[in-house]
Structure 1
Amino acid sequence: MNNELAEKITKKLRGTGVNSTNRLSTLLALTAFEEPEVFWQVFHENWSDCDNAWGLRDDVLNALEWFGLDGVCMTDEQQAFLSGVATDRYSRITVYRGCSSARVHGLSWTTNPKVAQEFALGHRGIRVPDPVVLKAEIRKSNVITAIPDREEDEIILDPLHLRCLRETNLQPAKYMRTMRPQWRHPAVK
């Protein structure tokens, strides 16, 4: 990050009393009256470390709309990622989401079906009741931003712009966990 204020806010988001479940609400509060460049730098730097986004999705969408949905604050890496999955602004991108069947209309999607399968089982100790893997299409022009780090190929979007939304025949990645060799302590028989 090259913005001093964005760095200070990120430091607060990593400080005492802030964790993955309250980081997003804190981020929204600390950036509410800042310039768009500050908001986007803080958002991109911290989004991947925020849990509990479901209950704040309307607040997040309002903030994203307020600070601009046109992707002007995307980094070169984010722009390159989007260019790699869609050639022009009207191209459709196939996206996937692994989640609880009650949370189909979320903001976070991925271009990688295996990532969606893994998220359907939960992550960072968060269990997913009634897991599903979804597939949909969205125009590149309707993508809010991309977060290609952490090998999750994440797309942030407004679910109202999704087309052809359907449950896939991909099963949540349960088989991945059962096929892993189970490590046992040598003393345990």
Structure 2
Amino acid sequence: MLHTRENWWPPGLYRDEAGYYLYDGTMDAETFSQARRSLNRNEGPALLYDLYPRSIDVAEHPGVVAEVWCMAEFPAHLLDADDWVMLFEEAGYTEDGKPARRPRESVTVYRGCHPDRRFGMSWTTDPERAQWFADRDLGRGTGDVYQAEISPGLLLAYIHEDHRQEAEYVVDPTALNNETVKMVRPARPFQS
């Protein structure tokens, strides 16, 4: 069940009979953020996806993509990777939601997760933070820590200054495979 505060929605925002979000007109970043805050945190990706490109121009308001990404609990489970890559690429590379230059060299990143999810989009520059994610790999016990070298062209965004402080790079997963992603720490024994 969707939990909304529709009375807090910006005027002109509504859902059609099929449940898609629609907005009468063009939305700016502040209005989008107001709409996103009126929804359950995991509804943000659907809101963005439904409103783009007709009502929100993510190239003009690039911060909304990172905002939605970092507010959702498991954003990569809520939209396909191809859709996220398209949205991030349209927004352009950002750091903490603001347009920025991509790093000029490859970045070493880490991911703590179950082996089935090692080719995901969320990575951190902090190996200890990756270990924290590995230790809390929800529903699957503990996970491994993986490392990858990501070339600048595959870095979609850097998010750190939000409430999570995760030193997170969002990466295009197309170049992630068994040759580019290496396990650096196996799962720790489960502690009850």
TM-score normalised to structure 1 length: 0.68
Runs of 4+ in 1 over 4 A off after TM superposition: 73-80, 170-175
The CA deviation string for residues 118-147 of structure 1, in whole angstroms up to 9 with x for no partner, is 112338xx5445622111111123211111
**Residue of structure 2 equivalent to 1:5:** 28
Amino acid in the other structure paired with 2:153: S
Pair 1:58-2:82 in alignment? yes
Aligned partner letter, 2:82: D
2:59 maps to 1:45: no
Call closer, same or farther: CA 1:110–1:172 in 2, change over 3 Å.
farther
Asked if the contact 1:96/1:109 (under 8 Å) is kept, the reply is: yes
Question: Residues 76, 32 of structure 1: CA spacing in aligned structure 2 closer, same or farther, 3 A cutoff?
Answer: closer
Instruction: Indicate conservation of the 8 Å contact 1:121/1:173, yes or no.
Output: no
1:166 aligns with 2:190: no
**Amino acid in structure 2 at the alignment position of 1:144:** L
Structure 1 contact 28–60 (Cα < 8 Å) conserved: no
Aligned to 2:13: none
- Residue pair 1:20, 1:51 contacting (<8 A) in 2 also: yes
For 2:189 and 2:124, the matched residues in 1 are separated by 15
Closer/same/farther in 2, CA of residues 160 and 8 from structure 1, 3 Å limit: same
Q: 1:7 to 1:32 in 2, by over 3 A?
A: same
Following superposition, the deviation at residue 171 of structure 1 comes to 4.2
Instruction: Say how many residue pairs are matched.
Output: 159
Paired amino acid for 1:98: G
Q: Distance in 2 between matches of 1:30 and 1:139?
A: 31
Give the Cα separation in 1 of the matches to 2:186 and 2:35: 40
- Is it true that 1:35 corresponds to 2:64 in the alignment? no
Could you tell me which runs of 5 or more consecutive residues in structure 2 were left unpaired when the two chains were aligned: 1-26
Equivalent position amino acid for 2:42 in 1: T
Letter in 2 for 1:46: V
1:145 to 2:161 alignment: no
Q: Residues 94-129 of structure 1: CA distance to partner in whole angstroms, max 9, x if unpaired?
A: 101112222121111111111111112338xx5445
Q: Does 1:134 align with 2:146?
A: yes
List runs of 5+ in structure 1 lacking aligned partners: 179-189
- When residues 77 and 43 of structure 1 are mapped into structure 2, their CA distance, relative to the original with a 3 A threshold, is closer
More helix by share: 1
- The one-letter code sitting in structure 2 at the alignment partner of 1:27 is L
Given that 1:109 and 1:155 are in contact with CA atoms closer than 8 Å, whether structure 2 keeps it comes out as yes
One-letter amino acid of the structure 1 residue matched with residue 73 of structure 2: D
Q: What is the distance in 1 between the residues matched to 2:86 and 2:98?
A: 25
Contact 1:96-1:110 at 8 Å conserved across structures: yes
TM-score under structure 2 length normalisation? 0.68
